């Protein structure tokens, strides 16, 4: 009997010695700053700058964690940074200053059960971060302050039982983020800024046994939530701003909840502040229905793109649940304002950074608590700003025309200089012009004295509105016979009338025609010259 026992012990000793020789032979050397146990447990010291490359593929537990006083400095973890450890069950990267995890970083660890990434600086995780970890049971992300968790991040973790997301500045439990965690047994969300937990949230975790909601911003919980909590095995609830009102009566009367009343310290109302709930009489736990004390605008008109603010003050005990409904039937909450420039504040006020035409219509504010519900409608009219576009002007509308007539015996010639354009002179290279359409001019009773022997100077100044000067034909003053000359001067009068653009100048134009005929009768011939001086054009006939 004793010989058999001794033989068995000897065999076990020999086996262990052989295993130790096998795993400590020259074929494998434990990485620097690490300790290895039979090559299946690798634990490295804090202060690493990079992940060791020569880790055994047989490793089942890998400890690459720093500590509070001396952290690692990995910054970013990629799939290529980790060897193919197909048998790995546990890995820890705590206190390693990790900022980014590449997609599919852990996809080769099909047998992984525990992943600890707590107290790093991870900025964002999504569904691909934990792809391939179908057997993962424990995930610790606590201490990654400000981490953004995308929708569906945990959807490929069907066996997850423990989730630690404390101290990450979480504002709410988004249903889309935590959907699918039906096997979760432990949920730790302590040290965040969560203000609301409802029945909808609790229904996400039907198998929950342990809940840590301590050190959040909770004021009260619905009766349905308290009923759910009463079925838990362990609850951490201290460090919140509990309002000791009528909703707390269930804790004093429910057999499964009496033991937590010592952990609830009243933050309000003022007479009960800092008193444990266990010491507050049931008659002192009172509630008040919700009430909208003041809202500065019931109906408002606003221009497109302007900022819209509806300031409100509300009251109630417990403090009312706030909900805004937009004209498009979207719902807004103080803890869930995800519609772009829209914001809802805790006092019930609404702020729209830049209004659009879709913001026109009826907005509804609804507040409610266990004592009742109140609504108020607000009419908003967003008015589009009208813009007027004037067609570009092709000419100066304030051109001043100055005409000076002087007798001259020489031949008449015409040259036109238009503002902002080069002079165009009739010649063999000029483009032929079409005959000018006749414009009727009314006669005038004004005449000139035939005894006038000489015409010294006649000046006419006018400020016409020129519509299409580029289309006005240039009169041809090149003919010397009297009939042709009169026709030319008649055309000039027509042109002047057209340029003037108003019937009030017709008598002046007729007067000008008579003067031209008088000059022709005397067979006095002159030279017509056009000068351009800025905004003023001068027409004159000078003697040579």
The predicted-structure confidence for 210-235, as pLDDT tens digits, reads as follows 999 999 999 888 889 999 999 999 99
Compute the 3-state secondary structure of the chain and give helix, strand, coil in percent, each to the nearest 5.
20, 25, 55
Mean per-residue pLDDT over the chain, rounded: 76
pLDDT for the residue 509: 60
Q: Which is the CATH superfamily of the domain at 30-279?
A: Ribonuclease Inhibitor (3.80.10.10)
| Cβ neighbours for 208, distance < 8 A, ≥ 6 positions apart | 184, 185, 186, 187, 202, 232
Query: Which residue in the block uniquely carries the two structure tokens 């620097």?
Result: 32
Whole-number Å distance between alpha carbons of 319 and 346: 10
Whole-number Å distance between alpha carbons of 59 and 149: 30
| Cβ neighbours for 445, distance < 8 A, ≥ 6 positions apart | none
59 pLDDT more than 70: yes
Residues carrying CATH 3.80.10.10, the chain: 30-279
Whole-number Å distance between alpha carbons of 182 and 160: 9
Residues carrying CATH 2.60.40.10, the chain: 288-383
Residue 273: half-sphere exposure toward Cβ, Cα within 13 Å: 6
Mean pLDDT (whole number) for 459-474: 44
- Domain 288-383 = CATH 3.10.129.10: no
pLDDT, one tens digit per residue, over 317-366 is 888 889 999 999 888 888 655 556 788 888 888 888 888 898 899 999 99
Whole-number Å distance between alpha carbons of 205 and 231: 12
Whole-number Å distance between alpha carbons of 300 and 307: 12
Element (DSSP H or E) covering residue 508: helix 506-521
Measured in residues, the chain has a length of: 544
Q: What letter does residue 336 receive in the DSSP assignment?
A: B
Cut 0.85: pTM above it: no
Band of pLDDT at residue 392, cut at 50, 70 and 90: low
Cβ–Cβ under 8 Å, residues 475 and 512: no
E-strand spans in 247-360? 266-268, 288-295, 299-303, 308-310, 312-317, 321-325, 331-332, 342-344, 350-352
Mean pLDDT (whole number) for 30-42: 90
Residue 361: half-sphere exposure toward Cβ, Cα within 13 Å: 12
302 pLDDT more than 70: yes
Q: Which residue has the higher pLDDT, 431 or 168?
A: 168
429 by DSSP, 3-state: which?
coil
Band of pLDDT at residue 299, cut at 50, 70 and 90: confident
Rg (CA), the chain: 48
Whole-number Å distance between alpha carbons of 172 and 280: 30
Residues β-bridged to residue 361: 380
E-strand spans in 384-534? 400-405, 458-462, 527-533
pLDDT for the residue 369: 85
pLDDT for the residue 7: 72
Phi, psi of 289, rounded to the nearest 5 degrees: -65, 160
Residues β-bridged to residue 312: 295
Q: Which residue has the higher pLDDT, 478 or 173?
A: 173
Band of pLDDT at residue 13, cut at 50, 70 and 90: low
Whole-number Å distance between alpha carbons of 235 and 225: 13
184's tokens? 């979760």
Q: Which residue has the higher pLDDT, 71 or 408?
A: 71
Whole-number Å distance between alpha carbons of 56 and 36: 9
Percent of the chain exceeding pLDDT 90 equals 42
Mean pLDDT (whole number) for 269-274: 92
pLDDT for the residue 84: 86
pLDDT for the residue 130: 95
Q: What letter does residue 87 receive in the DSSP assignment?
A: T
**Strand 186-188 with 210-212, pairing:** parallel
Q: Which of 487, 470, 469 is nearest to 479 (CA)?
A: 487
235 by DSSP, 3-state: which?
strand
| Cβ neighbours for 298, distance < 8 A, ≥ 6 positions apart | 376, 377, 378, 379
pLDDT for the residue 529: 44
For 40-78, give one letter per residue: b (16+ CB within 10 A) or e.
bebebbbebeebbeebbeebbbbbbbbeeeebbebeebe
């Amino acid at each position: 009997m004793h010989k058999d026992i001794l033989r068995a012990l000897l065999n076990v000793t020999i086996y262990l010695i052989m295993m130790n020789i096998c795993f400590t032979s020259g074929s494998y050397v434990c990485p620097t700053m690490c300790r290895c146990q039979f090559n299946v447990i690798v634990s490295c010291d804090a202060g690493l700058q990079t992940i060791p490359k020569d880790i055994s593929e047989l490793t089942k537990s890998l400890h690459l964690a720093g500590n509070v006083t001396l952290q690692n400095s990995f910054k970013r973890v990629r799939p290529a940074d980790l060897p193919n450890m197909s048998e790995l069950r546990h890995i820890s990267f705590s206190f390693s200053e990790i900022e980014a995890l590449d997609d599919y970083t852990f996809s080769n660890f099909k047998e992984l059960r525990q992943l600890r990434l707590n107290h790093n600086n991870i900025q964002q995780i999504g569904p691909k971060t934990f792809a391939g970890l179908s057997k993962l049971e424990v995930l610790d992300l606590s201490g990654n302050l400000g981490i953004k968790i995308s929708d569906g991040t945990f959807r490929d973790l069907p066996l997850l039982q423990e989730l630690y997301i404390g101290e990450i500045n979480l504002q709410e439990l988004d249903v889309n983020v935590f959907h699918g965690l039906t096997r979760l047994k432990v949920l730790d969300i302590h040290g965040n800024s969560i203000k609301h937990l409802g029945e909808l949230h609790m229904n996400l975790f039907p198998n929950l046994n342990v809940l840590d909601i301590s050190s959040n911003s909770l004021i009260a919980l619905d009766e349905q939530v308290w009923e759910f909590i009463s079925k838990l095995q362990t609850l951490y609830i201290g460090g919140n701003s509990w309002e000791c009102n009528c909703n707390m009566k269930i804790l004093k009367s429910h057999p499964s909840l009496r033991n937590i009343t010592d952990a609830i310290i009243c933050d309000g109302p003022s007479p009960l502040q800092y008193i444990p709930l266990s010491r507050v009489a049931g008659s002192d736990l009172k509630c008040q229905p919700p009430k909208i004390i003041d809202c500065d605008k019931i109906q408002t008109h606003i221009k497109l793109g302007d900022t819209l603010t509806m300031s409100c003050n509300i009251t109630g005990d417990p403090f009312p649940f706030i909900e805004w409904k937009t004209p498009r039937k979207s719902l807004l909450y103080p803890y869930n304002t995800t519609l772009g420039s829209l914001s809802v504040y805790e006092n019930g006020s609404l702020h729209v950074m830049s209004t659009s035409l879709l913001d026109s219509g009826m907005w509804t504010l609804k507040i409610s608590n266990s004592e009742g519900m109140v609504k108020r409608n607000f009419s908003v009219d967003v008015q589009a700003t009208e813009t007027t576009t004037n067609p570009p002007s092709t000419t100066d509308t304030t051109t001043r025309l100055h005409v000076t007539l002087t007798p001259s015996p020489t031949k008449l010639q015409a040259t036109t200089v238009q503002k902002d354009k080069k002079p165009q002179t009739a010649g063999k290279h000029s483009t032929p012009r079409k005959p000018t359409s006749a414009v009727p001019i009314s006669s005038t009773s004004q005449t000139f004295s035939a005894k006038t022997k000489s015409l010294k100077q006649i000046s006419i100044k006018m400020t016409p509105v020129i519509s299409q000067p580029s289309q006005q034909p240039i009169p041809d003053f090149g003919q010397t016979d009297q009939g042709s000359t009169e026709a030319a001067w008649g055309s000039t009068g027509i042109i002047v009338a057209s340029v003037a653009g108003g019937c009030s100048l017709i008598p002046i134009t007729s007067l000008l025609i008579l003067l031209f005929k008088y000059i022709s009768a005397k067979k006095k011939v002159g030279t017509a010259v056009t000068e351009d001086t800025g905004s003023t054009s001068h027409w004159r006939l000078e003697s040579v």
